[in-house]
Every structure is written in structure tokens, then in C-alpha cells.
């Protein structure tokens, strides 16, 4: 190449070189500027966190909640025996609980301790204490234990129902990780989950992690006050308590129910329930019924929404005295909205006798016009535990056992048989005390009907012979297992 041509090509080469340098240096400079901006942002954020850190304040509050609650939380270990037609089998299981009072009463779930022959409670300080069963209520899944120990620190509690969105904290021993804590919010209140082992449901629904082992532990609010008892994981209707793994829906018994049940269990070892004196069905069912009764036709055609329709009223009952009528649609009881029959049973059955309840109803007008809404007030009476146990009452009478009453012997509660006749009288003479059914404790007539109902359902599912194994304490002091035919 000649010198002139080389001189002419030189500026182009310099331009290309400059362009190449700029292609490398400009991005590098941009990256450097970005790094510097990010570093300044990090430093500023760190300064703000060091001076006014809302998350640190929240973390400190959560540590305070743990410090306020954990000393009242306990771990419950259970050894027991389940009896059946195929014999007895031993089992061990565990759950959680919490200290109710300084006298040594411990609250947990009935399903945690049901069938126990030995109970042990571990306190937060690690000490172990043998426990005795004060009483349990299978309909609400609540039990009370008692330990002898000094320096017990009971939990603070409140019966005020939380609101949707409130922060909550669940304590217990999930999967044997003892004295654990999780947090979440209240997803809903007054929930019915259709659990197979809980007749009266009005749960607090939370998204705090609740797993097997949490059962019986306390659910608290942001002040560290117990607002509920962790009980179950929602895994579908018909599931059992204490089963499954957490899937975002934990259920807790509200303190408004627990206060009534625990107080009665401590006082007497059993629970007396409220009675209103109505039979009800879901409002949706009335709409599909082919009834000739003009009242029910008016409900089917005029009522919009969910509720429970009164299909019968016991004469002279609290409902009759309050002015409730056949065909009235109950839409609320107390502070609870009513969407179904089961919710009426739960709301009434978890209240003590003497409770005054406002009842919101929709009533069809006789002239066929749109119905009217009104509020009445009902004062609950005492429920006869046999009022809804007609089938089982007849079953016992056919077997030769009658005049069943709550009683106790030597501090052991049970159901006394007042009259016994026929072949069964040799094994269960009059004056015998029924203390267990299928190896599960029976402390009252109500307990007996609950155990029989669950035994019948279980045996129907397994297609086994319709008989139940009953443990009786005879008048001569001997104890015997006796089979009672269920049909």
C-alpha cells in the first residue's frame, strides 16, 4: 500500500478503534454507576433500619408474645388402651395443652387424652409431672387434666371473639417439635368443618401453621391472651380431628365455648347443655321438600338466603315461651349468623342453661306477602341428654338396661344402671356403673350416647357385627367387659 493510501485509511482505523473502546468502556461505566447507586441505596436502607425499624419492633413484639405465653404451654404424653371385639391394643400419642389456673388444671383436646391409662405433662421448664383426667367433653373436643406442681403460671385469656384479619399465634408441639410457635391471621370465625368427632362446631379459622401435635395448645392474640384451643386441620368434611397435615386452614375452639365447658368439667367432671326445644332443617332442604303444609310452601317460595327452618317446637319449651313458630327461619343466634341446622345445634349446645339468646328470624306472612324479619329472645333450659338418643335408649331397654343416671363411685364417674333384667342382668346387675365404652371413658349419660353413636358409625363403615364393648363396675366392686347388642 502506498503512503498516501495509508494516510487516507488512518482516520477510519482510529474511528473504529475509538468505537471499539467506547463499546467496552460505556457499559462498564454504566455498570459502575449502577453499583454505586445500589451501594448508596443499601447504605441508606441500613441507616433507616438502624434508626426506625418497624420490622424490628414487630419482631420484638413477637418475642414478647412468646415470653408471655410459652411458660403456660405444656406438652402432653399419653399411653392408653383401646378395647374392641378383637381384643385390646396399646397405643401412645402426644399433644399440647396449657395451664388454666395455678391449682394445676390443664386444658387440652379430648381426642388427645381419650382412652388414656397414663398421662404425663411436661412444663416449659422441662419438668415432668404425672397427670389425672378431670373430665372431657367429646362433643366439643375439650378435656381438663390436673397436675400437682408448685409455681404454675396460668395463661391469660379472653372470651372476646377475634375479627377476620386479626394477627394470631399458635403454640404447641407439632410433630414432637416441642414448645413451638407459629403465626398467621384469622381467616374466618364461626366455621363448621363437618368433623366426624366434634358435634358442636363454631371454629376460629386461621392460616397459622397447625399440625399434628399442636392439638390442645393455645391460640393467642397480639396481647398474648388465649382466644382459642388449637384443635384440627381442615382436610375435608367427615375427616377426624388431629389428622392430616397443615394446608393453610387451621381450626381452633373459641374461648367463648371453652370457658363454659372447662368451668363445668372442673366443677363436676361433666357438661350440662342448653336446650331451646326446636327441631330444624336447612333452609335449602325446605325448598326441595314436597310439603302440603302452606307454611313450608311459603318459606320455600318467599325466603331468600341461608338459615335453619323450624319444623317442630316442644310444647312449653323456651322456644315456645319466646314466641317462635313453626316455619320460622332462624338467621342468627346471639352474635352468630346461622346458615345451617348444625350451627343451631352448636350454638345452643355450647351454651349453659339460663343463657339468654337473641334469635333473629324470618317469618312468612299469612296473606302470602313477603315475609318479615324480627328478633325474639330465648332463655335456654337444661337439655335432657337422652332427648336426641331415642334409638340408643331403645337399644339399651331391649337389652334389659334402663333407668340410666349420672353417678360416681369412689371418685370414678359413670352411668348408673337403675334397673337390669333378662340375660344381661347376670353380667350387669342393677346398681352397676358403666365407666367405659370401647375402652373410652364414660362419665355421663351424654358421654354414653356419644360413644355409642360413634361406635355405630365406625362399625357400619367396617361392616362388623353391631355390638359394643362396655366396661362396667359392678356393685360387688368387680369390673367386667360386657358386649351390648346394638340392634
CATH number at residue 470: 2.30.42.10
CA–CA distance, 206 with 146 (Å, rounded to integer): 29
Active-site entry in 77, 96, 111, 202: 111
C-alpha cell at 28: 462498564
C-alpha cell at 204: 376460629
Give Cβ neighbours of residue 228 (< 8 Å, ≥ 6 apart). 204, 218, 219, 252, 253, 254, 255, 258
Distance, C-alpha 157 to centroid of its chain: 17
Residue 266 has pLDDT above 60, yes or no: yes
Residues 89-115 have a mean pLDDT of: 94
pLDDT score of 462: 44
Name 419's bridge partners: 402
pLDDT score of 21: 61
Which residue reads 382436610 in cell numbers? 235
The pLDDT confidence band at residue 202, using thresholds 50, 70 and 90, is confident
25 is a domain residue: yes
- Give, in order, the Cα–Cα distances in Å from 24 to each of 17, 20, 33, 208, 331: 11, 7, 15, 53, 75
Q: Which of 382, 408, 432 is the last residue of a domain?
A: 382
- Give, in order, the Cα–Cα distances in Å from 182 to each of 214, 225, 381: 10, 15, 40
Residue 276 has pLDDT above 60, yes or no: yes
Active-site entry in 192, 202, 215, 455: 215
Domain check: are 143 and 257 in the same one?
yes
pLDDT score of 148: 97
The pLDDT confidence band at residue 255, using thresholds 50, 70 and 90, is very high
Average pLDDT, the chain: 86
225 is a domain residue: yes
The pLDDT confidence band at residue 8, using thresholds 50, 70 and 90, is low
59 is a domain residue: no
Residue 461 has pLDDT above 50, yes or no: no
What are 203-237's pLDDT values in tens digits? Answer: 999 998 888 899 999 999 999 999 999 997 765 54
Give Cβ neighbours of residue 466 (< 8 Å, ≥ 6 apart). 456, 459, 485, 486, 487
Three-state DSSP state, 81: strand
Domain check: are 192 and 261 in the same one?
yes
Which residue reads 347443655 in cell numbers? 273
pLDDT score of 236: 52
CA–CA distance, 109 with 95 (Å, rounded to integer): 8
Is the dihedral angle over the CA atoms 318, 323, 327, 332 positive or is it negative?
negative
> In percent, how much of the chain has pLDDT > 90?
49
The CATH number that applies at residue 165 is: 2.40.10.120
Residues 59-79 have a mean pLDDT of: 95
111 is catalytic: yes
Domain check: are 347 and 417 in the same one?
no
Distance, C-alpha 245 to centroid of its chain: 15
Conformation bin of residue 254: beta by default, left when phi > 0, alpha when psi is -120 to 50: beta
> In percent, how much of the chain has pLDDT > 70?
87
pLDDT score of 238: 47
Residues 49-61 have a mean pLDDT of: 82
Q: How many structural domains are present in the chain?
A: 4
Q: Decide if 207 contacts 264 (C-beta within 8 A).
A: no
**137 closest CA partner among 269, 259, 234, 239:** 269
58 is a domain residue: no
Domain check: are 203 and 245 in the same one?
yes
What are 130-189's pLDDT values in tens digits? Answer: 999 999 999 999 999 999 999 999 999 999 999 999 999 999 999 989 999 999 999 999
| HEC secondary structure over 36-59 | HHHHHHHHHHHHHHHHCCHHHHHH
Q: Which of 382, 410, 430 is the last residue of a domain?
A: 382
Is the dihedral angle over the CA atoms 476, 479, 483, 486 positive or is it negative?
positive
Residue 266 vs residue 246, higher pLDDT: 266
**380 closest CA partner among 277, 474, 307, 280:** 277
Residue 52 has pLDDT above 80, yes or no: no
Domain check: are 40 and 79 in the same one?
no
Active-site entry in 94, 96, 137, 141: 141
Residue 455 vs residue 381, higher pLDDT: 381
Residue 98 has pLDDT above 70, yes or no: yes
CA–CA distance, 41 with 55 (Å, rounded to integer): 18
For residue 278, give the H/E element and its range: strand 278-282
57 is a domain residue: no
Q: Which of 222, 248, 269 is the last residue of a domain?
A: 269
Domain check: are 131 and 236 in the same one?
yes
Q: Decide if 1 contacts 13 (C-beta within 8 A).
A: no
Residue 122 has pLDDT above 90, yes or no: yes
CA–CA distance, 217 with 123 (Å, rounded to integer): 13
15 is a domain residue: yes
CA–CA distance, 437 with 423 (Å, rounded to integer): 20
Q: In degrees rounded to 5, what are phi and psi of residue 261? A: -70, -50
Domain check: are 232 and 295 in the same one?
no
Residue 296 vs residue 462, higher pLDDT: 296
Helices (H) and strands (E) in the chain, counts: 10, 26
Domain check: are 236 and 260 in the same one?
yes
Q: What is the domain extent for residue 47?
A: 3-52
Domain check: are 206 and 338 in the same one?
no
CA–CA distance, 120 with 224 (Å, rounded to integer): 25
Within 10 angstroms of residue 197's Cβ, the number of other Cβ atoms is: 20
Domain check: are 117 and 239 in the same one?
yes
Domain check: are 81 and 153 in the same one?
yes
439 is a domain residue: yes
| DSSP per residue, 186-254 | EEEEEE----TT-SS--EEEE-S---TT-TT-EEE-TTS-EEEEEEEE--STT--TT-S--SS-EEEEE
Please tell me the least confidently modeled range out of 39-43, 368-372, 408-412, 460-464.
460-464
Domain check: are 265 and 140 in the same one?
yes
Radius of gyration of the chain (CA): 32
Amino acid at each position: 500500500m502506498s503512503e498516501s493510501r495509508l494516510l487516507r485509511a488512518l482516520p477510519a482505523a482510529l474511528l473504529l478503534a475509538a468505537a471499539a473502546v467506547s463499546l467496552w468502556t460505556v457499559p462498564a461505566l454504566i455498570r459502575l454507576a449502577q453499583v454505586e447507586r445500589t451501594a448508596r441505596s443499601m447504605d441508606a436502607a441500613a441507616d433507616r433500619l438502624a434508626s426506625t425499624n418497624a420490622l424490628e419492633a414487630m419482631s420484638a413484639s413477637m418475642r414478647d408474645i412468646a415470653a408471655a405465653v410459652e411458660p403456660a404451654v405444656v406438652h402432653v404424653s399419653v399411653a392408653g388402651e383401646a378395647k374392641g371385639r378383637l381384643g385390646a391394643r396399646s397405643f401412645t400419642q402426644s399433644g399440647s395443652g396449657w395451664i388454666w389456673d395455678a391449682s394445676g388444671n390443664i386444658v387440652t383436646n379430648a381426642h388427645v387424652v381419650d382412652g388414656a391409662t397414663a398421662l404425663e405433662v411436661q412444663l416449659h421448664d422441662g419438668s415432668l409431672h404425672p397427670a389425672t383426667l378431670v373430665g372431657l367433653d367429646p362433643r366439643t373436643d375439650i378435656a381438663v387434666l390436673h397436675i400437682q406442681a408448685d409455681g404454675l403460671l396460668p395463661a391469660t385469656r379472653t372470651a372476646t371473639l377475634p375479627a377476620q384479619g386479626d394477627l394470631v399465634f399458635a403454640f404447641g408441639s407439632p410433630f414432637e417439635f416441642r414448645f413451638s410457635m407459629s403465626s398467621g391471621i384469622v381467616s374466618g370465625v364461626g366455621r363448621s368443618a363437618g368433623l366426624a368427632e366434634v358435634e358442636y362446631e363454631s371454629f376460629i379459622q386461621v392460616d397459622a401453621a397447625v399440625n399434628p401435635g399442636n392439638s390442645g395448645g393455645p391460640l393467642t392474640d397480639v396481647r398474648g391472651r388465649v382466644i382459642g384451643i388449637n384443635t384440627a386441620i381442615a382436610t375435608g368434611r367427615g375427616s377426624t380431628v388431629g389428622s392430616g397435615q397443615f394446608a393453610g386452614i387451621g381450626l381452633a375452639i373459641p374461648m367463648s365455648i371453652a370457658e363454659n365447658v372447662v368451668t363445668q368439667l372442673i366443677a363436676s367432671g361433666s357438661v350440662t347443655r342448653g336446650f331451646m326445644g326446636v327441631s330444624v332443617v336447612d333452609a335449602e332442604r325446605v325448598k326441595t321438600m314436597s310439603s302440603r303444609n302452606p307454611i313450608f310452601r311459603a318459606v320455600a317460595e318467599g325466603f331468600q338466603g341461608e338459615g335453619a327452618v323450624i319444623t317442630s317446637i316442644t310444647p312449653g319449651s323456651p322456644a315456645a315461651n319466646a314466641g317462635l313458630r313453626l316455619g320460622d327461619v332462624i338467621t342468627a343466634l346471639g352474635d352468630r349468623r346461622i346458615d345451617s341446622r348444625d350451627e343451631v345445634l352448636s350454638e345452643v349446645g355450647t351454651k349453659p342453661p339460663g343463657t339468654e339468646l337473641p334469635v333473629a328470624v324470618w317469618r312468612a306472612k299469612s296473606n302470602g306477602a313477603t315475609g318479615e324479619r324480627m328478633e325474639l329472645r330465648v332463655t335456654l333450659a337444661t337439655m335432657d341428654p337422652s332427648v336426641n338418643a331415642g334409638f340408643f335408649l331403645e337399644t339399651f331397654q331391649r337389652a334389659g338396661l334402663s333407668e340410666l343416671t349420672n353417678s360416681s363411685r369412689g371418685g370414678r364417674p359413670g352411668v348408673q344402671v337403675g334397673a337390669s333384667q333378662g340375660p344381661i342382668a347376670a353380667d350387669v346387675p342393677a346398681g352397676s356403673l358403666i365407666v367405659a365404652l370401647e375402652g373410652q371413658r364414660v362419665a355421663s349419660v351424654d358421654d354414653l350416647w356419644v360413644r355409642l353413636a360413634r361406635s355405630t358409625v365406625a362399625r357400619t363403615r367396617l361392616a362388623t357385627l353391631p355390638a359394643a364393648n362396655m366396661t362396667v363396675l359392678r356393685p360387688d366392686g368387680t369390673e367386667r367387659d360386657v358386649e351390648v347388642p346394638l340392634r
